[in-house]
Amino acid sequence: MYLGVNIDHIATLRQARYAFSLESPNAEPDLVAAASACERAGAHGITVHLRADRRHIQDKDVERLRASINTKLNLEMGNTPAILDIALHILPEEVCLVPENRAEVTTEGGLDAAGQVKALTPTVSRLQKAGIRVSLFIEPEADQLAAARDLGAEMVELHTGAFANAQGKARDREVGRLRVAAEHAHHLGIQVNAGHGINYQNIALIRKIPHLTELNIGHAIVSRAIFTGLERATAEMLAAMAAE
């Protein structure tokens, strides 16, 4: 499995102090430095979510990352015209379409691709015509996978939040849902990624799910980095992903 490190919450820390003074020479931490540390540790890509409310990642961050990273840039975005225009200008290697709710702390739940096929079709088409691979951040459900197939998305990212929050038999059921969805997506010829709430403990169950190509992990890595540094935290996650 590959690892994409989501560095949104590096920006969250910066915004807590410098939201209105990003041009200050003291504005830190620096996202380019963070991405570089992740790449040095072996990360296969950098993920950022440019939200409509710009609560953490800013337009300039995406531009700087596009110009500096050596792996690939995965841009998470809602299906909004303004953000789509930015994506088509920046040209990340990949875009992951996600739901957005201003009241949420972070993205909660998957995109209702099945209920938004008409609205998503032109967005997916424009991104792909620009050479950008498209992923849909969806719940591990058959109707959502069918919509991803109908939309022609190259990838899905299975939302693992319910799994991450479950315990005991409920968690076993969520693992089963993810396993079935991964098998189904693979059968449909869609690349299977996963993300949300994956950490150094529950990765032991995630890595047993078949056909997973890439995990996008942010909060757990950034949290551990407070104590170990970002490069080591990334390396430790890679080691946990590869463990037998």
At residue 100 the predicted structure's pLDDT band, cuts being 50, 70 and 90, is: confident
Tell me the C-alpha distance between 135 and 226, whole Å. 30
Does residue 81 contact residue 57 with C-beta atoms inside 8 Å? Answer: no
E strand segments, 67-142: 73-77, 94-97, 133-138
Q: How much is the pLDDT for 33? A: 98
Segment 48-69, tens digit of pLDDT: 999 999 999 999 999 999 999 9
C-alpha distance across the termini of the chain, in Å: 13
Of 49, 56, 159, 184, which one is the catalytic site residue?
A: 49
Extents of the domains making up the chain: 2-242
At residue 241 the predicted structure's pLDDT band, cuts being 50, 70 and 90, is: very high
Of 76, 141, 157, 231, which one is the catalytic site residue?
A: 76
240: phi then psi, degrees, rounded to nearest 5: -65, -35
Q: What is the CA radius of gyration of the chain?
A: 17
At residue 102 the predicted structure's pLDDT band, cuts being 50, 70 and 90, is: low
At residue 37 the predicted structure's pLDDT band, cuts being 50, 70 and 90, is: very high
Mean pLDDT of 23-32: 94
Mean pLDDT of 179-190: 98
Mean pLDDT of 135-158: 98
Active site residue 231: no
Does residue 186 contact residue 192 with C-beta atoms inside 8 Å? Answer: yes
Does residue 181 contact residue 190 with C-beta atoms inside 8 Å? Answer: no
Instruction: Residue 65: name the closest of 44, 34, 41 by CA.
Output: 34
Active site residue 76: yes
**Whether residue 107 has pLDDT greater than 70:** no
Write down how long the chain is: 244
Is the peptide bond between 25 and the residue preceding it cis, with omega within 30 degrees of 0? Answer: no
Instruction: Show the tokens assigned to 115.
Output: 């209920």
Tell me the C-alpha distance between 213 and 203, whole Å. 14
Segment 118-131, tens digit of pLDDT: 999 999 999 999 99
Q: 2-242, which class in CATH?
A: alpha beta
Active site residue 196: yes
Segment 199-228, tens digit of pLDDT: 999 999 999 999 999 999 999 999 999 999
**Whether residue 106 has pLDDT greater than 90:** no
Tell me the C-alpha distance between 181 and 144, whole Å. 10
Of 157, 174, 196, 214, which one is the catalytic site residue?
A: 196
